[in-house]
Amino acid sequence: MKKQASFPLLVVAFMLVTYEGDCVEIVGGREVQNHSRPYMAYLSTMCGGALIKPDWVLTAAHCKKLNQIEVTLGTHLRIEKEPTRQKFQVKTAVVHPYFNNNTYVNDIMLLKLNASATLNKYVSLLPLPKHGEDVEAGTNCSVAGWGATKFGLYSTILLSHSVILYMQFLLSFILNVMSLTQGDSGGPLLCNGIYRGIVSFGKGCGLPRKPGVYTLLTKEYLKWIQGLIEDY
């Protein structure tokens, strides 16, 4: 298996939030139109992900909490049965070789499914960016997932949240890492409709002035992803 080093480049984004009790609701956290994000994957470890090949899902490395992970595609309502769903077991989970579980540097993972998904209007691929160029500060982006909207409560429907990128930097360490909204972790960050990053973590349950951190899909990561898929 080839291993290619990747720089720990992450991008920081502010969540648009408002206070409510012990935690917060996400401003702009709204239900998406049914199956309008057909690339979204729901992981049994309470994470999201994106289908990038019929048998590959891209997500965050910290979402590997169990030896067995089940992936559900074609879902909108998390806890209800839907005829559009396709379920898979993960055959192989490939965590980035330089992922640091303490700092979340290189928080990226590929999941090889035990079978290929049937692509249709409910299940489709999210293309990777052609180039790993930087995203300009001030760019309006969005994330989607089944994350918490209130403390301890996870959404049963797929929600979309708006984020504004305000800076990016080479991350060497992060202290006191906490989950921003666990159900959103691993989900794709889209900027102007292009897949730019992966939801990694946040601090203080999405509190104002507590930024969420997203792993930026740099050219180094793209090279690692493409090389690994080719090896399999």
200 as an active site residue: the answer is: no
The Cα–Cα gap between 232 and 10 comes to 27
The DSSP annotation for 110-124 comes to EEEESS----SSSS-
**Residue tagged active-site, from 6, 35, 107, 161:** 107
Residues 155, 160, 179, 185: which is the catalytic one?
Answer: 185
**Are residues 198 and 59 in contact, defined by beta-carbon separation less than 8 angstroms?**
yes
Residue with tokens 């990694």: 200
Relative to beta strand 9-15, strand 23-26 is unpaired
C-alpha–C-alpha distance, residues 101 and 78, integer Å: 27
- C-alpha of 90 from chain center: 17
Catalytic site residue from 35, 62, 76, 96: 62
- Indicate if 62 belongs to the active site: yes
185 is catalytic: yes
d(CA 197, CA 18): 24
Positions annotated as catalytic residues are: 62, 107, 185
